[in-house]
Structure 1
Amino acid sequence: MHWLLFFAVVLKAVLFSTGGMGPLPSLHNDFIAYGWATEKEFTEALAIGQLTPGPSGLWVVSLCYLVAGLPGALLSCIALMLPPQLILLVQYGYSRIAGHEATQGVLDGVVLVIVSFSVLVLAEMLKSNGLEISLLVITAVSAVLAISRRVSANYILAVAALAGFIAN
């Protein structure tokens, strides 16, 4: 077993998920592809994770123990703890620079990049699903409301999803 690769795979799955069962698709895909785990080991790890008290993401430790023994379990524990530590480190750094004028400019730039990626994904979705006037109207209204910053993004998403559901 290549331990650095193992750690990187687990860290990637944990870092790009929302906790709980979030890492499951990524871990399943990678562990099966590398031949590290079987379907039975996934089933056992998920069962252990559901039976044991504590955070629901601890099934990852069980899986890594079944796959790679104690070293795998220890590496998975480190991988599970790194993202929250990274958030604390970023928050600490941000609190030190939040008052600087350039900070808001950088954050505005990051938001612009995220919005640009979202627009590209939306354009690809519209292109692949065909253009419908109702979806274009929902998109335009949502964009105007988001740009105005007068309506919470959560409300915009909820109403847009409902409108899209009703329109289709």
Structure 2
Amino acid sequence: MTERLMMIDPFTYFLLFFKATLFSSGGFSNLPSLHQDLLANGWATEADFGQSIAIGQISPGPNGLWVISLGYFTYGYLGALLALIAITLPPLLVLAIEAGYTRIENQLWVSGLMRGISLAVIGILLTVVWAIIGRSGLDWRSWLIALAALLLAAKRVNIIIILGLAALAGYLIYR
């Protein structure tokens, strides 16, 4: 991480996080943009993303806070601070333009626009998830645990229970 720290331009780093958050809809929707930009610059690894997402899932609070962990893993305390500021500014901007939105929110084209954007985010997110999974070197047993976790999540089982069961399965299978 030390070599990476010397390569990072703080302003560009901040702008990448700000852009990703500004053009996302919350949670993990900024993942594709950050994944592409940080990997392209050599400022993050797949492991940084995996660890950040895991920490974001087990931490209390909104899912979007995983970005702060990513900032820390890629650029230390300054990265965490820059990521925090970058994910805080877009919601403040939304509050500032909310008055204008109330004038157009009932327009038919607005709901169509939002639906199209949401579907594009889902497609891009699935592409990034597939790329992360493809490079993780999983064997068939790992896929089985992941499939079981997915099925439990689809049945709305509490995430803590899913993580506990996955940890137990991993321990029993790989010990």
Tell me the TM-score normalised to structure 1 length: 0.55
Map of 1:71 onto structure 2: 78
Match of 1:87 among 94, 98, 117: 94
**1:48 positional shift:** 0.4
Relative contact order higher in (CA < 8 Å, ≥ 6 apart): 2
What TM-score comes out, normalization by structure 2 length?
0.53
Unaligned runs of at least 5 residues, structure 1:
99-103, 119-168
Q: How far does the alpha carbon of each residue in 1:96-129 deviate from its partner, in whole angstroms, 9 at most, with x for none?
A: xx7xxxxx8xxx9xx7xx98xx9xxxxxxxxxxx
Over aligned residue pairs, what C-alpha RMSD do you find?
A: 2.6
Q: Which residue identity is paired with 2:81?
A: L
Distance 1:88 1:19 in 2: 15
Tell me, which stretches of 5 or more residues in structure 2 are unaligned? 1-7, 117-175
Aligned to 1:59: 66
1:32-64 C-alpha deviation (Å, 9 max, x unpaired): 000000011111101100110100011100001
Q: Equivalences for 1:1-168 in 2 at 5 Å? A: 1-91=8-98, 94=100
Distance 1:40 1:28 in 2: 11
Letter in structure 2 aligned against 1:19: G
CA deviation after TM superposition for structure 1 residue 88, in Å: 1.3
Deviation at 1:91, TM superposition (A): 2.8
- Cα displacement (A) at 1:89: 1.4
Displacement, 1:11? 0.6
2: CA distance between counterparts of 1:91 and 1:48? Answer: 32
Q: Specify the SS of the correspondent of 1:57.
A: helix
The one-letter code sitting in structure 2 at the alignment partner of 1:62 is: S
Q: Aligned to 1:66, what secondary structure does the other structure show?
A: helix
How many residue pairs get matched? Answer: 104
Structure of higher CA gyration radius: 1
Residue 52 of structure 2 aligns to a residue whose secondary structure is: helix
Q: Structure 2 CA distance, aligned partners of 1:21 and 1:88?
A: 21
Identity of aligned pairs, percent?
Answer: 47
- Tell me the distance in 1 between the aligned counterparts of 2:64 and 2:32: 13
Distance 2:47 2:91 in 1: 30
